[in-house]
Every structure is written in C-alpha cells, then in structure tokens.
Structure 1
Amino acid sequence: MPSGLPPAARLHRPSEYAAALKGRRIARGALFVVSSPRESCPGVRRLGLVVPKRHAPLAVTRNAIKRVIREAFRLRRDTLPDGDLVFRLVNRPAPASLTALKRQVRAEIDTLLERVAKC
C-alpha cells in the first residue's frame, strides 16, 4: 500500500485554493501562513501548498519544501480538524544546505500543525 497522500486529500482546483486563501488565517510562522476557508466539509481534510518561485527560486528547494509539508500533514492528518488547509510560503528561507532547510521547515510545520489541531 502506498504511504503517500491520496489525491482525495489534496486541493486541485484554483477555486479551492482561492476559497482557502480568502478565508481565515489559522496560524503564522517565520516562513509560512496557514489559511482555511470559512466553510468546511465534514469528514474531509485536504492539503494545499503554495511555494512561489520568488521565495524559493530553485525547483529543488521548492520540491523539498513541498515533500516535507506533505509528509508532516500525512502523519498528523487524523488529529487535525475537518477542512482544507493551505500552507503558503511568505518569506524566503535563509541560505542553508538542503538538509538544514528540511529540518527548519519540518520544525515550523510541526509547530503550525499543533496550533491548527488546537483550533
């Protein structure tokens, strides 16, 4: 059985992203902002990622950030409230090795997911 995030657990359409980004901000960290739409579907927990090129110019960096966020979400998905969550990178990470960047992102995402779980 694949351990990845199933397609039903991800946002796909621009309208879904727009609704979440226009909704409320649930949590904010040094690098990320977590948004959620005002209305949510019961029993559904989905993830959306916005990692713009201007904050992470290298594709390798953007993809590493997305992989770390998806894995953290997958592991905590059952403890989160129902609804869509969009993680948006709002600040450029400090120059560091890819391993250090992954650790920094994982630490911040874990903190943000804990805040979201308490909402």
Structure 2
Amino acid sequence: MTYRFRRVHRLLKTDEFSSVFSLRQARSTALFQVYARPNDLGHARLGLVVGKKVHKRAVRRNYIKRTVREWFRLNQASLPAQDYIVRAKLAFSRADRAEAVIALSTLFAKLARCRASSSS
C-alpha cells in the first residue's frame, strides 16, 4: 500500500469543484465542512477550500491545508471512491491539531454512514 498524494488524487479544475458543490451532500463541524460526490475513478479525490476569512495570514491557511492533506493521504485507502471537498471554517494552531484531525475523521465517518444508508 502506498501513502502518496498524487495529482490523480486531487480535484484541480473549477468544474470538478462545481460538480461536488452542486450535489450538496455535506456534513460539518465547527472547524470543517466536507462535501462529497461519488466518482467512477475507483479512488477518492480531495479538494481544499481555505479562504482569507478563515485567517488572513497565508502561513496559517497553508498549515490547515497541509494538515487536511496529510490526514487524507494516510486515510485514502479506507475511503470510498468519491470526490471530497474540505472547506475550513475556522483556523486552528498546532496545539489544536489533534482536535482538527478527530473532527475530520468524524465528518468522513458520517459521510460514509450517510452513503451506506442511502445506497441500501
């Protein structure tokens, strides 16, 4: 098993983001909002949205993105073949990183349960 985060695992184009946003299957916590849409690629893909409203400093926004990408990289093998967009709602620091990772895990688990119940 490889734990790489290659280009094929990223949402890059505007229309890819738009198709996930238009489906509006979403779950949220205080820190994040996660949107999901099934894809036919056989693997999960990730898109990130961290706006200036979250934090004005690019350093902090980039830290949030790195944290989310790292979580996705380590957990992508257990995720269903869907396109995910993670939108940050609040900034967090290194001290709050563990809480943010737990919030991400919870959101993705909720989306998986929602998908499992809707497909049965």
State TM-score, norm by structure 2. 0.81
- Given that 2:30 and 2:90 are in contact with CA atoms closer than 8 Å, whether structure 1 keeps it comes out as no
Superposition CA RMSD, Å: 2.0
Cα separation, 1, equivalents of 2:26 and 2:90: 20
Is residue 110 of structure 2 the alignment partner of residue 111 of structure 1?
no
The list of structure 1 runs, each at least 4 consecutive aligned residues, that deviate by more than 3 angstroms after superposition, is none
- Given that 1:20 and 1:36 are in contact with CA atoms closer than 8 Å, whether structure 2 keeps it comes out as yes
Cα separation, 2, equivalents of 1:23 and 1:84: 11
CA drift of 1:87 comes to: 0.5
- Given that 2:41 and 2:81 are in contact with CA atoms closer than 8 Å, whether structure 1 keeps it comes out as yes
Aligned counterpart, 1:20: 20
Cα separation, 2, equivalents of 1:54 and 1:68: 18
Identify, as 1 or 2, the structure richer in helix: 2
Tell me the number of residue pairs that the alignment of Structure 1 and Structure 2 aligns.
Answer: 113
CA drift of 1:103 comes to: 2.7
Q: Counterparts of 1:35-114 in structure 2 under 5 Å?
A: 35-37=35-37, 39-89=38-88, 91-93=89-91, 98-114=93-109
Which amino acid in 2 is paired with 1:44? H
* SS of 1:54 mapped into structure 2: coil
- Given that 2:50 and 2:87 are in contact with CA atoms closer than 8 Å, whether structure 1 keeps it comes out as yes
**Which deviates further from its counterpart, 101-110 or 12-21?**
101-110
State TM-score, norm by structure 1. 0.82
* SS of 1:85 mapped into structure 2: strand
CA drift of 1:61 comes to: 0.9
* SS of 2:83 mapped into structure 1: strand
Aligned counterpart, 1:8: 8
